[in-house]
Structure 1
Amino acid sequence: MRFLAALLLWLLTTVALAAAVPALWAQATVVDEDGYASLAASAARDPRLQQAMASELATQAVTLAEDNGYSLNPRLVGQVADSYTHNEGFAGQFGQANRIAHRWMFTGAVPSGNSTDQWLIDVAPMLNDPSFDATLGSLDLRVPDTMTVPITVDSPELRPGKLRWLASWGPWISIGAAAVTVLLALLTVAAARSRGKALTALGVSALLVGAAGWAGIEVADRPLDAALDRTTGDIRTVAEVMVESAIDSLHHWLNVTIVAGVALVVLGAVAAGLGSVLRRGT
């Protein structure tokens, strides 16, 4: 009976851990605004994103000048933009620019002048960088406080605040999942006849969850491609790199889970061995 109770608790712990790891990752990396900005800043160190954003920023700068009756040399502006996206300050500014996209989706905050169902980033802070200011300032051009660029095409499926519920409940869901996992793990150890074997079993749970997570990411590859089809041109490249950075981040969490699993298996084996030696000695 005790064995069956321990087995049931172990199964429940494994299921809870499988929910807790992605929930905690999503809360820390995607749902949390600071976490999302940090993810964007990390993605901004990728040369592909830097090149794509340089092209997009050059286009926006030339368009801004034309709208105000000026003509800029696209090649010169492109060189300025390329130099800017390769400097140290770009990553942080790109992270800040993505905050408007995060607020649009998770809080429903709509930038002034946006009447479409599009996900946007704000490029105004980047165009206000001194490198661009030297180019645009010579024409007495003032970059607006907010200058948004669509990340996605117009879609009725995308609405401001669509994930507001996740922003509200995400922290509770992730903390609750983690708490339930810890509680079930402790109950599993308490119910097992051998503490060492229980620790080993919990390590196996972590290994299974880590491996299943890697497999799940591979399965999700096609739906992710379909989502990226909502973007075009340079912004698609930006979105692709952002998605890849998010996947790399999740891979890191899964790798930590696997390493923790290996540690628990080793610790459990050592504990079981010591327990066996002590029992023989008595």
Structure 2
Amino acid sequence: MRFVATLFGWLITTVLLAVAVVSLWAQRTLVDEDGYAALAADAARNPALQRAMAAELRTQIIDFAAGRGYRINSDLVAPVVNRYTANPGFPGQFAQANRIAHRWMFTNEIRSDSAAENRWLVDIAPMLTDPSIRQTLGDLNLDVPDQLLVPITVPETSGLQPGRLRTVAVWGPWVSAGSAVLAAVFALLTLAAARARGKTIAALGVSALLVGAAGWAGIEVARGHIDRALDHTVGNIREIAEVMVAQAEAGLHHWLNLTLAGGGVLVLVGVAVAALGGLLRRGD
């Protein structure tokens, strides 16, 4: 009976650990607005994103000026935006610009014209008001508004709709914290039910190793779906999105590596405890 209880506890612990690792990463990196902004800032230090964002800003500046009756030479704007995206202040402003996209998806607090309400929006006004760029626009008497929303093409079949993840934002903290606590509780209950504590500790380490390995495999499987989702974006936006996704994957890989490392430590501790227990029993 104790063996069945131990096995059941081990299985539940493994499942809860998998949920905890993924949900904690998602809550901290994607669901939390500050975490998402930090992800964007880290991605903005990547030269590939800087080049793509510079090209996008160049296009937006030229279109912005054209809409107000000015014609700007692309060769004039290009060095300005290239210097801007390469300066140390760009990651913070890029992060701020992405906050509006996060709110669009997780809260739907953004309000604009009816045509834009069903589109994923990024606010580039904080970037265009940077002194290095504003000086160029100021020479043409072009005042950048407080908010300048750039829509990202989102097909109706993608499922990306305003506020679609509002439920995730509400329940995400509870799921992540709850699964972590329950995983710890069931791990302790499993130890309490077991006869061989050393082997059980090692088995819990194996749980962590399984979760880490399954997570790596899951990322590889999900990559195809992510690539198909990115196919709905084009040009500069696609390149920016690819860097953001790669940054998120790197963060999840880090969490999985920590899980694997923790599992390895538990296996070693469990083997040591089991060996020590065997020596003590022989001594008796």
Q: The TM-score by the shorter chain falls in which range?
A: over 0.9
| Partner of residue 133, structure 1 | 134
In structure 1, distance between residues paired with 2:237 and 2:113: 20
In structure 2, distance between residues paired with 1:139 and 1:113: 27
**How many Å apart are 1:188 and its aligned residue?**
0.8
In structure 1, distance between residues paired with 2:11 and 2:132: 58
* Alignment RMSD: 1.3
| Partner of residue 144, structure 1 | 145
In structure 2, distance between residues paired with 1:29 and 1:188: 31
**TM norm structure 1:** 0.96
Gaps of 5+ in 2: none
Identical columns (%): 60
In structure 1, distance between residues paired with 2:10 and 2:277: 21
In structure 1, distance between residues paired with 2:220 and 2:145: 42
In structure 2, distance between residues paired with 1:155 and 1:15: 34
In structure 1, distance between residues paired with 2:7 and 2:153: 47
Question: Over residues 77-134 of structure 1, what are the superposed CA-to-partner deviations in whole Å (9 max), with x where a residue is unaligned?
Answer: 1111011111111111111110000000000122433523211111100000111011
| Partner of residue 244, structure 2 | 242
> How do residues 18-97 of structure 1 correspond to structure 2 at under 5 angstroms?
18-97=18-97
In structure 2, distance between residues paired with 1:48 and 1:114: 33
Q: Which 4+ residue blocks in structure 1 deviate beyond 4 angstroms?
A: none
CA contact (8 A) 2:154 2:160 kept: no
| Matched length | 282
One-letter amino acid of the structure 1 residue matched with residue 126 of structure 2: P
**Residue among 265, 268, 273 paired with 2:275:** 273
**TM norm structure 2:** 0.96
Query: What SS does the corresponding residue of 1:220 show, helix, strand or coil?
Result: helix
CA contact (8 A) 1:118 1:155 kept: no
In structure 2, distance between residues paired with 1:11 and 1:154: 40
In structure 2, distance between residues paired with 1:143 and 1:194: 69
| Partner of residue 115, structure 2 | 115
Gaps of 5+ in 1: none
